[in-house]
Amino acid sequence: MRRLALVIACLVGMSAPAFGQKAEIEAANAKWIEFFNKGDFAGIASLYTADATAFPPGSAMVHGNTAIGEMWKSAAEKVGDPKLTTLDVKPLGPSAAREIGTFSLKTKGPDPKDVTGKYVVVWEKDGNSWKLATDIWNDGM
């Protein structure tokens, strides 16, 4: 019985924080968009874990939230109006979750184009906040 109680206690402890994960992650994504549109790339950096990794198509991995903020600052010279749609959030233990979604944005310049794609983010709980820990995307949806 004590063993069963332990198992139940572990399961409850593990699943309780999962409640509301999708809403919390969508709220973090809304902040990401707000920061991007304001040009607040330190704000964007603050949404990633300190040791996060981003995987921009066509170039090298970017390690660390400060470098990731700089990456988005450079990207914002070429693209704008980002939109994110969360399709699925799967809890992975008490302090991690996997998000699947789609994105759209517009290229800047004389001949602007719509770009659409899909992404996978692994989120980690950092104190009370969900933060992006890996962020990878590619075109096509």
Residues that bind a second copy (CB under 8 A): 6, 9-10, 13-14, 53, 55-61, 92-96, 98, 100, 118-120, 122, 133-134, 136-141
- Shortest distance in whole angstroms from residue 64 CB to a second copy: 14
Q: How far is the CB of 34 from a second copy (least distance, A)?
A: 25
DSSP 3-state assignment of 78?
Answer: coil
Nearer to a second copy, 10 or 42 (CB): 10
Provide the CB-side half-sphere exposure for 124 (13 A, CA).
10
Task: Pick left, alpha or beta for residue 16 (phi over 0 → left; psi -120 to 50 → alpha; otherwise beta).
Answer: alpha
Instruction: Please identify, using beta-carbon distances, which residue of 20 and 93 lies nearer to a second copy.
Output: 93
Q: Which helix (H) or strand (E) holds 139?
A: strand 129-139
